[in-house]
Amino acid sequence: MPKREGEAVFSFSRNMYPRSSDAELCLSCRGAKMLCGRSFCPVLIKAKAYASTPWSLNSAVLEGLSLGVFVGRAGYPRVYAGPTVAPPGRCGTDTPELWGGVTFEKFIEFRASVLRGRHVFRVEDASHPSSLFERVQEIALASTPPDSQLFTESPPTFAPFVNEDAGPFGASVTYKDFSVKGLSSESRLESAYYDFDLDSRLAISELYRKGVYVTSIQKAFSLGMLGRKKVRRLVPTRWSITAVDSTLGMELVEQVKGQPSVSDYSVFHVRHLESTYVGFLIPGRWSFEWVEAWQPGTVWNLLGRGASLTSDREYHTGRSTYAEPGGCYYAARLASAEYLSSIRRQARVVLLREIHPGYAVPLGVWCVREGVRSLFRSSPVRFSSMNEALSYGILMTTLPFSKWSQAARLLVESLRQTVLRLDD
C-alpha cells in the first residue's frame, strides 16, 4: 500500500523475530523469564527501539544534535552523505572511544533514536565543495556535537538501517538544506583540513600521533577532508573505517617488528558487548591471527546448529589480499599493534572472539577495536609453555580446542612448533 503524505514508513527485519524452532520457548517466556539464557530479550529490545520514534512526522525542519557523519556506498560515485543527528534533549556522542561501559541494549536504544541525513553528492565534490557540503564537513571538524537543523524533502523513513561497519540507525531522511550553530572546531583536524599539500596517508598518521581519536580521523577521511586538494574524494564510511585502521595498523606493525620479542606466553581475557575475547601473545616474530566464532542465535548465525567460524592471518611479511573477516580484522590488528608498541615488544598475536546469542544486531567495527583495546588493558596471565597458555585460554571460551583449531591455523602452528622443539 503506498505511503500517504506526511506518514512515516515502518519496516521490521525478519531477524527481529525468533527462529521457528525457538517459537515454543519464546511463547512461554514472552520476554519475562529469559528462558533462552540471555540477559535481555532481543525481540523486545528491537521492538521497543524501532517501533516508536522521537522525531516529528510532519515537520519540514528537524532539529537535533549533530553527532557525526555517514557516507553510503550505494550508487558510487554518486553517494548519499549527511549528518547523523540525535533528537532534542538526548545526550550522546558518535565517538566510540568515549563509550566506556555502554551495554548492548543501551547502545541499541540510543542508536535507534539517531537520524541519518541523506543528500546525494558526487565523490569529487570533496575537491571543490559546495556551501551545503562544507556545512556537512564542519560536523567532522567539531570538537563537540553542535546543534543543527535539517530542512527535509519528505518525512523521515523509519526503517532500521543496519550497517556492519558503522552500526545501526533507526531512521533516515532526505534533506535539501542543512545548518549548524554553536560550532567549535578541533584545531588539529582543522589544521590538516586546510593543508592542501599534505598527502592523506601522512595526514592520517600525523593526526593519530597528535592524539586525535581514530574514529574522528575516519570521519574526516570519509568526507574527503584530508590529502591534496585536487584529489580529495568522498569515501563511503565502510571503506574509510577500514582504510584508516589498515593504514595506522601497518605503520605500527612496522615499528613493532624492530622490537625484541616477548619472553613468555601471555593470555588476556575480557567479556565485552556480548562477546568473549581471548588473546595470546606468543614469543617470536610478529604475526597476527583473528578468529571469530559465531554461536547459534547470533546475527550472522541465526539458524545454525553449531558455532560458525571465520578467520584470517598474516605472517611477518604481511598480507596483500583483503582479510576474510573484513573490517574487524584490521580494527583488531590496529589495537594489537598499539599494545605491542606501548610495551616495545613484538610477538605472535592470536585473538579469539566468541560471539554469544545476545549479539542480535551488528554494532559496527568500532566494537572490535574497543573490545581488543579493553582486552589488552586487562591483566595477563603468564605461562612458561605454549601448552599451558593454550589450555588456560581455551577454558575462557565455551568451545573446545578441536573447534577453534578448525580456523586458528597460527595457533595450531605455534603449538606444533613448541612440541617439535621439545622433541629435538
pLDDT in tens, 256-313: 999 999 999 999 999 999 999 999 999 999 999 999 999 998 888 877 889 999 999 9
C-alpha span between 280 and 269 (Å, rounded): 9
Within this chain, do residues 168 and 251 fall inside the same structural domain, yes or no?
no
Taking every pair of Cα atoms in the chain, the longest distance, rounded to a whole number of angstroms, is 79
C-alpha span between 397 and 408 (Å, rounded): 14
C-alpha span between 9 and 170 (Å, rounded): 12
Cβ atoms 220, 189 nearer than 8 A: yes
DSSP calls for 31-72: TSS-TTS-SS-HHHHHHHHHS--SS-SS-SEEEEEEEEEEE-
Number of domains in the chain: 3
Within this chain, do residues 71 and 50 fall inside the same structural domain, yes or no?
yes
Cell numbers of 77, please? 560515485
Within this chain, do residues 396 and 322 fall inside the same structural domain, yes or no?
yes
Residue range 82-93, pLDDT digits in tens: 999 988 776 667
Cβ neighbours of 424 (radius 10 Å): 5
Within this chain, do residues 345 and 223 fall inside the same structural domain, yes or no?
no
Within this chain, do residues 171 and 223 fall inside the same structural domain, yes or no?
no
Look at residue 94 and tell me whether its pLDDT is greater than 90.
no
Which of 233, 255, 277 is at the close of a domain? 255
Q: What is the DSSP letter of 161?
A: B
Which element (helix H / strand E) includes 310? strand 308-314
Within this chain, do residues 313 and 362 fall inside the same structural domain, yes or no?
yes
Q: Which residues contact 272 (CB under 8 A, 6 or more apart)?
A: 367, 370, 371, 374, 375
Look at residue 399 and tell me whether its pLDDT is greater than 90.
yes
Within this chain, do residues 40 and 126 fall inside the same structural domain, yes or no?
yes
Cβ atoms 60, 151 nearer than 8 A: yes
Which of 162, 181, 200 is at the close of a domain? 181
* Residue 3 within a domain: no
Within this chain, do residues 294 and 395 fall inside the same structural domain, yes or no?
yes
Question: Could you give the C-alpha distances from 388 to 87, 352, 385, in angstroms and in order?
Answer: 52, 17, 5
Which of 161, 181, 201 is at the close of a domain? 181
Range with the lowest mean pLDDT among 138-147, 187-196, 251-260, 270-279?
138-147
* Residue 260 within a domain: no
Range with the lowest mean pLDDT among 14-28, 254-268, 366-380?
14-28
Cβ atoms 271, 279 nearer than 8 A: no
What is the structure's pLDDT at 7? 31
Cβ neighbours of 245 (radius 10 Å): 26
**Could you list the residue range(s) of the whole structural domain that residue 216 is in?**
187-255
Residue 350: Cβ-neighbour burial (10 angstroms; 0-12, 13-18, 19+): buried
